[in-house]
Amino acid sequence: MAPADGLGALPTALREAIAAALRQASGFVPLRAQRLGGSASGATLAIDAADGRRAFVKLAAGELADALSAEEDGLRALQAAGSVAVPRPLCGGRHGEHAFLALEWLELAAWRPASAAAFGAGLAALHRHAGARFGWPRDNWIGASPQPNAWGEDWMSFFRDRRLAFQLERARRRGYGCELEQSGIERLLSGVPALLAGHTPQPSLVHGDLWSGNAAALADERPAIFDPAVHYADREVDLAMSELFGGFPEELRAAYRSAWPLAPGYETRKHLYNLYHVLNHLNLFGRGYLAQAQQLVRRLNAELR
């Protein structure tokens, strides 16, 4: 496999390990590779085969090597659901401190009303895949953050303890505890049962990290999802995050609600669910997300009065 665009910075043995895994898994004979982004320890690559096929390859090192194994597990679960297009895992493996995951290449396109509506209906179908409990058979990752998924019978306790409290403890270790406590974060944690009172969702299979950068339309207008943080949860967590940073067409939400209407109280719950993601961004990217986290805490505490 000929390196290009800086791939020579990667160890030769690692390039050869990826090429050997691709050949063994799918008869994919790598011809050339191109770096798409990232660093030597966390790069993304496009690898072209002699027969015209292309693979998307992700690399990770250190503790994030486990994230690729978890991602492959999540992609296979989403693929088995058959509700929305998912890049098919081709092979994965480790070489030294590095891990790699090779995926089917998807040709992405701009959203159109038809593809956005298809995504809304497909997402509702995905959420119809129900589990017996909340959580997942293994812990996984949301971006570069660990995500604990130990099984829970009760959604309120699962979300409070495995999501909000977990991220809050990480924020405290990073020095944000006092400022979050001034916003009333402890009061909010004790108020989660009241905010979710009477809401008893089924455990639904969710993507778990559904912002606009992790979904797209394909050239044939099928919707696709990738980079998941899969688990069984209240289906509303996906809908809430799809609104957090914008980027999704309104046709998506309209089609979803037509296929499976949301329960009363969603407009409050979505802020609670999105606090998890804002705290995660605070922990990953720093103080620029502190004011947004504080604003959400105060807004939710106002609902408890």
Give me the active site residues, please. 209
| Tokens read off for 299 | 């807004």
189: helix, strand or coil: helix
Phi, psi (degrees; rounded to nearest 5) at 127? -70, -15
Distances (CA, A) of 24 to 17, 29, 47: 11, 9, 15
